[in-house]
Chain A
Amino acid sequence: MRTRPAARAGQYTALLAYLVFLAFPFVWLASTAFKPATELAGLHPTWIPQDPTLANFRQAFDEQPLLRAALNSLLTASASALVAVAVATPTAYVMARRRGALARAATGWVVVSQAFPFVLLIIPLFLVLKNLRLIDSLPGLVLVYVVWSLPFALWMLTGYVRAVPAELEEAAAVDGAGRLRTLVSVTVPLLAPGIAATALFAFVTAWNEFFFALVLLKTPEHQTLPVLLTRFIGAEGVADLGPLAAAAFLATLPSLLVFALIQRRITGSLLAGAVKG
């Protein structure tokens, strides 16, 4: 189909407007992160730092336990991603292959669980974790993150399992492979990219999560990055813009990297989910 040049120009203008809208806050964050304090205090801020510096990053690391928080975030996010995938993969397999009442109930729950406000979930969880002495501990937070990321992990993985033809498994069975053998040497290898994508997605969700961490973690040594970042802002509102921007910038990089890796797969699974779900 041909599009008239005028319409094309309009489309490009619109696309450009979208790009500017989507990109400018991030560009501004980066620009603020690399500006020296004198420039930040100046009256007329510029887009590009005139005298770029790493001082903000140094100050952020000096004044706040940034490294500690990053490590906490990394540990929590990796642990929850691994556990979530380990737990969700078998279930997703069953949900995709056997479409009985249980699978329907599980799918229903995945949808329903989206509708509940966290506050209704967090108070009882808080009480349960308190009894288990898991409040203010990273294992407790991992537990919460696993459950919290399960619905989407199940959703994604079910789609990936459906994409593995059952005929392949049958062929393996005909050739005399047992049930376990079929799963291990036929299904799992085909599923591996999907499992990896799901794990990475769970990682980003946990890395970015704020509400549960805010409620469950009390001592500064246990804080994850997002919680620490809000401490930067302080009670009066705006503290030091430069270090704040620098720390926020750093906290975003892992998520962006992982997302760049799995972007295509996420889009694909949403496609499958949106069309068939």
Chain B
Amino acid sequence: MTSVTEARRPAPGAPGPSRPRRRAVDHGPWFLVLPALIPILVLSVGPLLHGILLAFTDAQSGRTEPTRWIGTLNFQDLLQDTLFWESFRIGLVWAVGVTVPQFLLALGLALLLNQDLRLRWAARALAIVPWAMPEVVVGIMWRITYNPDAGILNETLRDLGFGGDRDWLSGLATALPAVIVVGVWAGMPQTTVALLAGLQNTPRELHEAAAVDGAGAWRRFRTVTWPALRPVAVAITALNLIWNFNSFALVYVLTNGGPGGRTRLPMLFAYEEAFRYGQFGYAAAMGCVMVAVISVLLAVFLVGRLRGGEER
């Protein structure tokens, strides 16, 4: 046996002399991937490709005649569909409106949890709770909180003398902000945990050295913490943006897209199109547009972030 380091080096391309005994230990046999690979191919990759193809057909639910290729007709219709674009706009407002406060609040909480505070264990445990809850329950819980008569929110506002007769989830102006607050609440744990993990990876000695040199808290954060945290922050924000844009259950339970479509996220729109009206092809086209736009947004975001990193 030669050294361990050599054994663990990845062997891309270059075949080299085969050493069967070493291989047997270091790499698993390739067929072990089959049990996971086959379901992924059949039930994930396959359906996705199928879904993209469906966007170019007139597939409908429960129709007896065979579906036909209709080229880009679905996409042309979609271009004219003002309701869809309105829903798309709401989706973007929601995604950004949730992701940004989510990040800022989670960063604050992560910084606090990284300190030597008492009660830290309680806060850590509690910070995870929204993550563990079923999304449907989160929705129900906030519905009960927002309830105009029996909800605690209006009662608290009444106690504080702010009136408090609002029907938060049914008001045209308040529905979207109210729903966004719930989105922020529900998504904070993952972000906090990820950022906390990143924080614990920042070099402590550097922090202390900066403090000795007289750098204030803000300066230390800018020059020591943030550069180390940056990759994690970018990754989790990108993921949050995707997850939020594609979210469904929360808003379905809270408002079901109402009032008057003010909170109808693109996923809700596509769901109704597919499973209420049975327009499979058209809904698939919506899905494709959603993927395309979110990819472009992410590309812009990631390129911008990465370039910003180089300049510094």
Contact = CB atoms under 8 A, between A and B. Distances in A.
Given A45-B150, A90-B28, A166-B7, A121 B48 contact: yes
Contacts of A1: 207-208, 211
Contacts of B145: 24-25, 28
A6 interface: no
A86 B39 CA distance: 12
B242 to A, nearest CB: 5
Nearest to A255: B132
Contact of B123 (A19, A208, A270, A275): A19
Contacts of B242: 114-115
B21 A173 contact: yes
A15 interface: yes
A44 B155 contact: yes
Contacts of B123: 15, 18-19
A109 B40 contact: yes
What is the size category of the interface that chain B forms with chain A?
Answer: 35 or more
A233 interface: yes
B140 A244 contact: yes
The secondary-structure label for the interface of chain A is helix
Contacts of A229: 134, 136-137, 140
Given A15-B117, A252-B137, A147 B39 contact: yes
Interface in B1-50: 1, 4, 7-8, 10-12, 21, 24-30, 32-33, 35-37, 39-40, 43-48, 50
B291 A86 contact: no
Nearest to B108: A14
A102 interface: yes
Interface string A123-143: 111011000000000000001
Contacts of B217: 7
A217 to B, nearest CB: 12
Given A18-B123, A255-B133, A120 B51 contact: yes
Contacts of B27: 94, 97-98
A173 B274 CA distance: 55
Given A22-B127, A87-B36, A90-B33, A121 B47 contact: yes
16 contacts: A28-B145, A45-B152, A88-B36, A90-B36, A106-B36, A114-B243, A117-B287, A120-B48, A120-B287, A121-B47, A122-B274, A226-B135, A244-B144, A256-B129, A270-B193, A275-B198
Those 6 A-B pairs whose CB atoms lie nearest each other, nearest first? A120-B287, A98-B27, A259-B132, A91-B36, A90-B32, A124-B47
Interface of A: 1, 3, 7, 11-12, 14-15, 18-19, 21-26, 28-29, 32, 40-41, 43-45, 47, 86-88, 90-91, 93-95, 97-102, 106, 109, 113-125, 127-128, 143-144, 146-147, 150, 154, 166-167, 169-170, 172-174, 179, 182-183, 204, 207-208, 210-211, 214-215, 225-226, 229-230, 232-233, 238, 241, 244-245, 248, 251-252, 255-256, 258-260, 263, 266-267, 270-271, 274-275, 277
